[in-house]
Amino acid sequence: MDYPSEKPFENNDHLILERERKVLQEIQKSEREKSFLLDFSNDMTAVRTKDELAAVIKTALRKLDPHGGYVIRCMNPDGKTMTAYLHDPGSSTFDPALMDSVLAEKHPIEDGLQNRILDSNIPLLFNVERELARGNRLSYLELWKNMNFKTMVGIALRNHNSNIGLLWLSIDEINIPILQGICAQISTAISNIVANEQILHYKRQLEEENDYLKEQLTSSFAEIVGSGKAMQEVYRLISLVSSSNSTVLLLGETGTGKELIARAIHNASPRSKKLMIKVNCAAMPASLIESELFGHERGAFTGAVERRIGKFELADHSTLFLDEIGEMPLEAQVKLLRVLQEKEMERVGGKSTIKLNVRVIAATNRDLEAEVKAGRFRSDLYYRLNVFPINLPPLRDRAEDIENLTGFFLSKYSKNAGKKSMRISANALRQLQSYVWPGNVRELEHLIERSVLLATGNVISEVFLSPRSNDNTELAGMLPGRSLEEMERAYIIQVLKRCKGKISGPGGAAEILNIPGNTLHSKMKKLDISKAEYYGE
Ligand SMILES: Nc1ncnc2c1ncn2[C@@H]1O[C@H](COP(=O)(O)OP(=O)(O)OP(=O)(O)O)[C@@H](O)[C@H]1O
């Protein structure tokens, strides 16, 4: 019997062993790759910032090539160029000026290399010398030559199938699965970092706006001008009520500073860290006011496509300023009363009850008592709001404050207009002091703003008061057939009334009439003007 010689057996064994060794090597290599990618992936999960990303990439790439460098370029918003996002020169030496200029450059995508990488699904290898020899005078090829990088691998970075940039790597050996694995993770990390940076940017912008608004609001307390008796009383009331949680009702004609005082109360209260929320009850149709105040759930009514938070919820732990409360529709008044009494509310269309801690300041230029009598305002709500009323005096009763207010608005509006600080002539000031001011401080403010813009020099010598508003009912009708003496008498009484009987000193009738106090006294005596005729109105 012929037995096969031992040699072929030995050869076969050798081949089998060799194959097994190769398979084992492949398995070990694949295990190493898996473990490398697993480590990389674990490190990447903790990455939140660009610096953290740079540190993780550096550690990983050092394992692949201890001397290699890399650069990541990201797509610019123009969609046509890319700029360096992260880079590491590895252990190479280089010309720093050249490096800086290449890093700052916007590299066109269509440069013959980058477009090929972005179109490819696998890493592409380029020989630096050969590309330069072909006449490819790209600045980054020059830099790599300067850095002594022989070959460079380029791989596209993609997020959700769209190119966000690419990775250039100086490496001798290409391992496609490893490079693809690394790039997939880098792409996700960069997209997240960019999104985070954008959110942070918006957050910072909002914070800055918030600080700016707060500064504007806080400074508005300092912007209350007026040292006359009437305003002294207002300041006294503000200081009494600010630190409490009491509801405040501000009453006064339009433009008397109700909103200014509401802000002052809020700013002086423990709630001042949060912004005061304002609702103008007159500016909204009745159908929307409830949703504006209390918010609504999605689908609560036609058009309520999303849940909306109302002003009451926004004002939680702060102050809600209900301007023009006299205009609020009756249905909304019922709901408002409930919130004020029970300190809780439901959104329109909502089922759950929301507890609230809101301080309410309401304001109106209407006579609320008359509104109650006329059935347009609920009496229970009126009494609930009228806990601490503050009456703001009309400007015509504060002639003593006109000079200061004028000075304040002059410096504000000359600064706004980029002009040097302006003055007003004594004559023009007298005109202002004897005017009736139907629009109150707002009207004075607008008049000064206009005058500053129109003035050519540094002094406002003339003010253009609206003749309609200046219509003086007390003097109207007495012109025909009246003697000069009668006219003089009536005019002095009118000015004395406006100055609340104050004859001399700042804001007194003599100042407005531009005559010495003694002269006014003797004129009054001569014209037989009694106290009863001008006092107490
Ligand atoms: N005492 C004051 N000192 C400085 N500025 C004032 C004063 N009072 C009012 N103003 C200014 O006049 C303008 C009108 O004031 P504000 O809006 O507070 O009045 P209002 O009574 O709320 O008016 P409305 O009833 O029309 O809403 C604002 O620009 C405000 O800054």
**Complex confidence, ipTM:** 0.98
In testing the pocket of ligand 1, which one of 218, 249, 364, 441 has its CB within 8 Å of the most ligand atoms? 441
Which of these, 267, 228, 244, lies nearest to 405 by C-alpha position? 228
- Is residue 327 in contact with ligand 1, taking CB distance under 6 Å? no
What per-residue confidence (pLDDT) applies to 4? 45
Strand-strand pairing, 344-345 and 354-355: antiparallel
Ligand 1 centre distance from Cα of residue 445 (Å): 9
What per-residue confidence (pLDDT) applies to 147? 95
What per-residue confidence (pLDDT) applies to 495? 84
Q: Which is the closest atom of ligand 1 to the Cα of 225?
A: 3
Ligand 1 centre distance from Cα of residue 224 (Å): 9
pTM (2 decimals)? Answer: 0.56
Ligand 1 centre distance from Cα of residue 259 (Å): 6
What per-residue confidence (pLDDT) applies to 476? 47
- Is residue 439 in contact with ligand 1, taking CB distance under 6 Å? no
What per-residue confidence (pLDDT) applies to 466? 66
Q: Which is the closest atom of ligand 1 to the Cα of 262?
A: 18
- Is residue 282 in contact with ligand 1, taking CB distance under 6 Å? no
Ligand 1 centre distance from Cα of residue 315 (Å): 22
pLDDT along the chain (537 residues), means of 10: 48 80 87 90 91 94 89 93 95 92 95 96 94 93 95 94 94 86 94 88 77 58 81 91 95 94 94 92 82 84 76 93 94 91 89 91 95 94 96 91 94 91 90 88 94 89 67 49 76 83 83 84 87 73
What per-residue confidence (pLDDT) applies to 1? 41
Structure tokens that stand for 184 in this block: 């997939």
Q: Which is the closest atom of ligand 1 to the Cα of 445?
A: 12
CA distance 466 to 468: 5
- Is residue 255 in contact with ligand 1, taking CB distance under 6 Å? yes
Ligand 1 centre distance from Cα of residue 254 (Å): 8
Ligand 1 centre distance from Cα of residue 324 (Å): 14
Which residue is listed with tokens 């009702």?
A: 249
- Is residue 443 in contact with ligand 1, taking CB distance under 6 Å? no
In testing the pocket of ligand 1, which one of 224, 229, 259, 366 has its CB within 8 Å of the most ligand atoms? 259
CA distance 312 to 461: 48
Strand-strand pairing, 319-323 and 277-280: parallel
Which of these, 107, 44, 48, lies nearest to 72 by C-alpha position? 107
The residue whose CA has the least distance to atom 13 of ligand 1 is 442
Q: Please, what is the end-to-end C-alpha distance for the chain in angstroms?
A: 145
- Is residue 260 in contact with ligand 1, taking CB distance under 6 Å? yes
